[in-house]
Chains A and B, each alone.
Chain A
Amino acid sequence: MNSDVVALIVPDGLGGGVGNVEALHTLVDGRRPAERFVLDMRRVDFVKPYGVVALLLAARRLVGLSGRRVELANVDRQVRSYLERMNLFEVCGDWVSPAEVLEESWDRNPQTPNLLELTAIEGPQNVVRAITKAERVFSRWLDVPDLSDLLRVLSELCANVHQHSGDPLGCVMIQKYEEGSSGRAVVCVAVGDLGCGLRASLSARHGEIAHDPLDYLRAAMSGRTSRASGRGGLGLRTVEEVAKGAGGRLWLRSETAAVVSRASGKPRGQQGLRHVPGTQVAVDLRSPQPG
């Protein structure tokens, strides 16, 4: 590799909790422009939806610095299979591509009935499409109340992207897992954009209502809306209620702050994170029954 090519070793953690994904943001934030970036995936052996979305957003930011597509190098075979299955290289082909050409075709089942592939949210029609597909996929795994909750969460989060973020390239992804010991279904939803973020969205209507990005997150979660009509402010609160009711968790991140809300206890805020434009959300829903 010549000196104009910057290789960044992606830290392990894309398959861990949302906090672990922060290391990827740290890797990207504050980078100087270069001719080309390579994301070296040698340390990554597992990826979850929020990790995929973070990877995609990282790639988009790097493309913004180089003007060229980011290459993913040294990708573990299973991880690559998963990323392909999730349509990463199709949906995000303008920003990211695998460095290595495969000599064999991997065992890949496009009908795997436990996930919603990476889906771009460009407008309301994509929201409806994502929801109808999610219903088809997850009705196999979830009872009606849990399925309805999932669809409502999905609808609200996707709608927020196209209505508030100003980013036409936001995306969503869902994966259902089984929790090891209990066998319960855990559905992980990840949504992310590189749009204006919650602070700018709320400030556009209310002016500067606080100093810290965290205050804006809290305002959004308590029902402040950026709509001129004053209606709204329900989406995140609905998502939080559903997540709590399902014994799950909501992680809401924008700029340098995040709020995590769990089934018990008050929402906990975090400040001083590395700057990421836009808004990123992860929601886990736990089914009471074995999946």
Chain B
Amino acid sequence: MRAAGAILRKDLQIELRTRQSVPAMALFSVTVFVLFHFGLDRDEIEGSLASGVLWVTLLLATVLAVSRLFAAEREDGALDGVLLAPIDRTAVYLAKAAALFLYLVLLEVVALPAFAILLLGPGLGGAFPELLAIVLLADLGLAGVGALVAGLAAETRLRELIVPLLLLPLLVPVLIAAANATKPLLMLNPAATDLGKWLGFMALYDIVFVLLAVAVFDFLLED
């Protein structure tokens, strides 16, 4: 945990200095919402359409962050410096997943209000506790799988292709669960139908993929 904490702290220091990942994700999301606003030619959307637009946008913004998750390590062989340290390499995964989780939370602080202002008919306020639970569980899944894929692609030349091609199919279950869980909350008359089922599904997905990633990540960083 000491090593994971050190790597996470370092990642946050770099993000604070460079302000690259989170602002890019936020700007991308807001831009997509604006595009939908004009593309759909509607001031307000609700239900499954709203839920789908929200989660597909957040998913694509996640791809941006995952692509850059090991960017600092690729410069000047910095990853070798980490691999030379007497640490369990799982610490690298845990730190990267935690950093991505924090980036996603920060993204949503910007993206959710922007979505509500630009596209959403019904307000988000009434369903906030339920939405918070959905978002946090979805973020855990996005971060867990995102860090795994980022590690897999870290040392490959085709990472710009590998990340979206590998990440998006793996995240389809999260998208289905999050979109279905969110859909009733974004209706004109919010109702938390089947919320427990979808939250349980996402929690199971998170546990399975985080355990899988912890088991295999050491091998991903091997020569």
Same complex for A and B? Answer no
Binding site for B on A (CB under 8 A): none
